[in-house]
Amino acid sequence: MNMPDCEQAEKLADQLLAEYPGLVKRAGYGETVLFYNPTGLLPAGVYFASLKNHDGPNDQGSHLDRDGVFRVAFGLPDAAYEGLFGPRPPRPGKGRVVHLERDFATLDRLTPHPVYAWMGWVQMLSPSARNWQEIKPYLEESHRRAVALHDKRIRSSADVSRESRGE
């Protein structure tokens, strides 16, 4: 892929939208965010993935400000994350990275997310076509996780609504 990082990231975002039903694309926090929200019943939906091509004040661990570098990040179920990287680390302080012996600036390799690994998030910086195919099973797990969380939140809000009506 020889296109600028922002074009490549947008191309991957559009590819994810086409491949995983129910996703909604929004710009937020200086990145492109994909939410699972097929019915629009939740205010935002459930985070599925994000694509970002620059550092932010509280997120500099991946050194995204390098030419041609962007990040694809997504959350995994606990078992998948721990199978890849072991126990999730504790939450870091504001503006800090998680305490792991990892190089979060490594290109084209699945690694824990430098800030959100404590939540089971992972990242790949500037993925090659080959390695993009290798992480597809993890993206599928992430999508199933987002669907399950969405459905749980919808059921919960329906239960609250019935209770408020005295049903």
106/103 Cα distance (integer angstroms): 6
Cα–Cα separations (whole angstroms), residue 18 to 12, 52, 77, 105, 123: 10, 19, 22, 28, 20
CATH number assigned to the domain comprising residue 131? 3.90.1150.30
Model pLDDT, residue 166: 56
- Alpha helix locations (H) across the chain? 5-19, 78-85, 129-164
Q: Are 35 and 51 in contact (CB under 8 A)?
A: no
- Quote the pLDDT of residue 3: 46
In a domain? residue 167:
no
Which tokens belong to 73?
Answer: 């990040």
Kindly report the length of the chain.
167
Is residue 119 a part of any domain in this protein?
yes
What is the domain count for the chain?
1
For residue 2, what pLDDT is reported?
41
Residue 5's pLDDT is: 61
Q: Domain residues for 156?
A: 5-162
Q: How far is CA 55 from CA 29, 77, 87, in A?
A: 11, 26, 26
| Longest Cα separation, the chain | 60
Q: What is the predicted pLDDT for the residue at 4?
A: 45
**Beta-carbon contacts of residue 161 (< 8 Å; ≥ 6 apart):** none
H or E element: which one contains 25? Answer: strand 23-28
* Residue 21 domain-assigned (yes or no): yes
- Residue 131 lies inside a defined structural domain of this protein: yes
The confidence score (pLDDT) of residue 117 equals: 97
Q: Which stretches of the chain drop beneath a pLDDT of 50?
A: 1-4
79 belongs to a structural domain? yes
Q: What is the pLDDT of residue 141?
A: 96
Both tokens of residue 92?
């870091």
The verdict on residue 112 lying in a domain is yes
What is the structure's pLDDT at 152?
94
- Residue 91 domain flag: yes
Is 71 within a domain?
A: yes
